[in-house]
Amino acid sequence: MSCNSSTKEIVGFCIIIAICISLSGLWPFVQCSVAGQQIDIQHESESTDLPKQTDSAIYADQIKLKKITCLYIIREDYNGLKLSYPSKLFFDSVKKEIYITDSGHSRILVYTYDFYPLLSVGKSNGIKTPAGVAVDPEGHLFVAQSSGLKEKGARITVLDPSLRWSKNFFFEGFENADSFHPTNIAISKAGKFYVAGVSFHGVVILNEDGTFCHLMSPVDRLGKGEEQKATICDVEIDSSGRIYLLSEDMGRIYVYDDKENFLFKFGQKGGGSSKLSRPRGMTIDKHNKVIYVIDYMRHTANAYSEDGRFLFDFGGKGWGRGWFQHPSDITADDSGNVLIADTFNNRIQVFKIEVIRSVAVAEKVKPKDIITKELVKEIKPEAPAGKELSERVTAQHYILTANMNLREKSATSSRIIRLMKKGEEFEILSQDKHDELTSWYFVKTGSGRTGWLCGIYRGKVMFEKKK
């Protein structure tokens, strides 16, 4: 009887403690709901590694996903050649340009901030086996390349601001340098190059002139296994100089300050929601203050707060908008647009992600919930083809001063009708002003075909009035 009485007292005491915890408001920090399931976040957050905060600071850092919109899908270059297994992405915040590694065609594609295709950089520029890219503030392009049949050793190829070959940085001076295969590059404010490689333990740091400086090798353990040096597949540096190292094998992100002092780590290996199975790329969205990590095997993107707390994830395996097939990289531009290299779907998907600060934890967003819209809406011509416009606008004849693509509608993703060559004559039927510097024109060619062309691009007029 005394034993049963003692047991009842202990149970009653535990119930009282639980009630007190619940009333005190501490319960939200013990567990939270994500995608309809209760998840213990004590192991997720790894409080021993994350920055210590007060309760008020933790509440302030909670972010809720408001809406995600698929803005645009990049499928082709300027000449209409389809992307083939795009693998790496980079956004140049100085020129506001997007760089895409088109692995299937062994080239680098450059697009404007509004996703208009500019040019292709390939073999004629010394680019043969491109992986990750980076651009310095002066406009030099740095391309990580592996050794090939005709190329001696892995290297970083440097192109000048005019994208002409300048020089190569070869890897030497450290153990296993001969077998090092670079995958991604990040440039610090001091001009040092942080280079991640395939199955390489740590990152290689090069001086500004390309000579070897030193290695950074975080030590960690997977589960209850022994401690070991973590392999690093991606490296990023944010605007404050913080260095982020992503380990695909560990399912972890390691964060250092600008002096390479370790700060904290976050992320957990696993195959379920909020976990990282085979993370391949990451980016820091300074607009929303969110860290995104792309998971190659889960076909999703995970979002974390600046202190490494899991917020939400989105995606899944599929072919439509918002779905992915083995995505391999992710980047964010200055306005908060998130670009994902949807590798096996041979495309780049562009998302607008809106978040709000909230105590509530955001839910998983599935592709069926994504709002889709076209970046540029087609505007119908003000007058039928073959007739003059109104008396207010008299039809004029013009001549192209550069080769242009004639498309079905005023969007770079629309089907190309044909290539119009420099000197070709046409008539303007209608205009669609895309922004202050770019305008599309609905035209009628000399042969009678109608379609859209980008007549003014970033302030440069691509045609002149016929004399």
Quick one: 333 and 432 in the same domain? no
Q: Whole-model pTM above 0.85?
A: no
Same domain for 313 and 408? Answer: no
Contacts for 462 with CB less than 8 Å, ≥ 6 apart:
400, 401, 402, 404, 453, 454, 455, 456
Q: Are residues 203 and 294 in the same domain?
A: yes
Is residue 79 assigned to a domain? yes
- What's the sign of the alpha-carbon dihedral 268, 270, 274, 279? positive
The torsion angles phi and psi of 63, rounded to 5 degrees, stand at -125, 135
163 with 280, same domain? yes
170 found inside a domain: yes
Q: Answer yes or no: is 159 within a domain.
A: yes
**Does 16 share its domain with 97?**
no
φ, ψ for residue 174, nearest 5 deg: -140, 165
Do 328 and 277 lie in a common domain? yes
330 and 440 both lie in a single domain: no
Are both 300 and 414 inside the same structural domain?
Answer: no
In-domain check, residue 114: yes
Query: Which residue in 258, 326, 331, 256 sits closest to 290, CA to CA?
Result: 331
Query: At CB < 8 A and 24+ separation, what contacts does 437-446 make?
Result: 438/114, 438/116, 440/376, 440/410, 442/379, 442/381, 442/410, 443/406, 444/385, 444/386, 445/406, 445/420
Residue type, position 272, single letter: G
122 plus 75 within the same structural domain: yes
Number of domains making up the chain? 3
Whether residue 90 is contained in a domain is answered as: yes
> What does residue 159 show for φ and ψ, rounded to 5 degrees?
-110, 140
CATH assignment at residue 229: 2.120.10.30
Q: 86 and 11 in one domain?
A: no
Structural domain for 326, as ranges = 65-372
Average pLDDT, the chain: 81
Task: Tell me 20's DSSP state.
Answer: H
CATH number at 402 reads: 2.30.30.40
- Residue 382 falls inside a structural domain: no
Q: Which amino acid is at 261?
A: N
Which pLDDT tens digits describe the chain residue by residue (467 residues)? 444 555 455 545 555 544 444 433 333 322 222 332 222 222 223 333 444 333 333 333 467 788 899 999 999 999 999 999 999 999 999 999 999 999 999 999 999 999 999 999 999 999 999 999 999 999 999 999 998 767 778 999 999 999 999 999 999 999 999 999 999 999 999 999 999 999 999 999 999 999 999 999 999 998 888 999 999 999 999 999 999 999 999 999 999 999 999 999 999 999 998 999 999 999 999 999 999 999 999 999 999 999 999 999 999 999 999 999 999 999 999 998 999 999 999 999 999 998 886 544 444 555 555 544 434 333 333 333 333 333 334 457 889 988 888 998 888 778 888 888 888 899 988 888 777 788 889 999 988 889 999 988 877 888 888 87
Q: What SS3 class is residue 184?
A: strand
Residue 108 counted as domain residue = yes
Q: Which of 328, 357, 372 is the last residue of a domain?
A: 372
Q: How far apart are CA 109 and CA 118, in angstroms?
A: 8
Please say which residue of 372, 388, 411 terminates a domain. 372
Residue 274, domain member (yes or no): yes
Residues 410 and 368 in one domain: no
Q: Are 264 and 49 in contact (CB under 8 A)?
A: yes
Q: Are residues 167 and 100 in the same domain?
A: yes
